[in-house]
Chains A and B, each alone.
Chain A
């Protein structure tokens, strides 16, 4: 087994990261592609990424609740498979933008849309190549205090506030406190 992964901080060596690896603001999301709240949060995260630019390092880990979201596991595996072909974030976006179309044939179509090797992706998802990694994501989330999705960690601290743009931005870019 590899060394234990950090539970609440992105690990650029391991995780899918977006933005600058030198970004001082580190945002980690545990999410589920079939979870509607994660779909809502996706839009917010996009906006935040646009505003914070290179100040932000964003990482995403899988936390699929496979019993209540029967498409979430294959969706997560598809994103991982796409990542192996160099386009995790392209697939990540497509999945969140099409949460009502996550059947296997949809997933295969997204692979084609992104110009990926579709046969390879289907083969890897079918043989569950990335299932252990997704499980590792899930377990790290449980141990880190993820109780549902989406859960955000800002610089290693779980964010329990409102998940709208204003509140998240405030939490990500705290104003220096005034001296009393």
Chain B
């Protein structure tokens, strides 16, 4: 394996470093508006859907976020929280969310740039953005499912719903939550 990265913390080798199911989801605190922040740990006790996407305003991302925005009721049926994450700043997110009437938080992985994306193994060094990656985190804070989509392909929501269903079944079987 070649090492083109200059920083040992960087992940430049495709998707091999993406955090996989069974891994504890790294906690983080990121701005969701210019003066408010959200921590992953605040959602403990509920499933969380983390949707990393490359950039506000790009066509595929807009489609993807618009689709998720229509599905909030479905996610709610699983008591799941949806958050979008990109390296765009909070003001940019605010304008993007307003334009598309998004009703879920967009987190700014902006400073230090891409730190959370790197922690999840989905930072693209070449483009300086995160990849298009989905994580479903269980109520205990463990990654239950992850998926990295080709950058120009909208991954849709079917995988997320399947993961949430699977998680629900698993929790009902083990009685691990509630």
Contact = CB atoms under 8 A, between A and B. Distances in A.
Interface of A: 64-68, 138-139, 142-148
Given A67-B66, A147-B67, A148-B67, 11 more contacts: A65-B70, A66-B70, A67-B101, A68-B100, A142-B74, A145-B156, A146-B156, A147-B63, A147-B154, A147-B156, A148-B66
Contacts of B64: 147
The SS class assigned to the A binding surface is loop
Interface of B: 63-64, 66-67, 69-71, 74, 100-103, 154-158, 161
A124 to B, nearest CB: 22
A45 B66 CA distance: 25
Nearest to B99: A68
Contacts of B69: 65, 67
A65 B66 contact: yes
17 contacts: A65-B67, A67-B66, A67-B69, A67-B70, A67-B100, A67-B101, A67-B102, A68-B66, A68-B101, A139-B74, A142-B71, A142-B158, A142-B161, A143-B158, A147-B157, A148-B63, A148-B66
Contacts of A66: 70
Contacts of A65: 66-67, 69-70
Max count, chain A CB within 10 A of own CB: residue among B74, B100, B101, B158: B158
A143 B162 CA distance: 9
Contacts of A145: 156, 158
Nearest to B102: A67
A139 B77 CA distance: 13
A18 to B, nearest CB: 26
A138 B63 CA distance: 15
Contacts of B154: 147-148
A66 B73 CA distance: 13
A144 B157 CA distance: 10
A127 to B, nearest CB: 19
A144 B69 CA distance: 18
A67 B70 CA distance: 7
A57 B101 CA distance: 36
Contacts of B102: 67
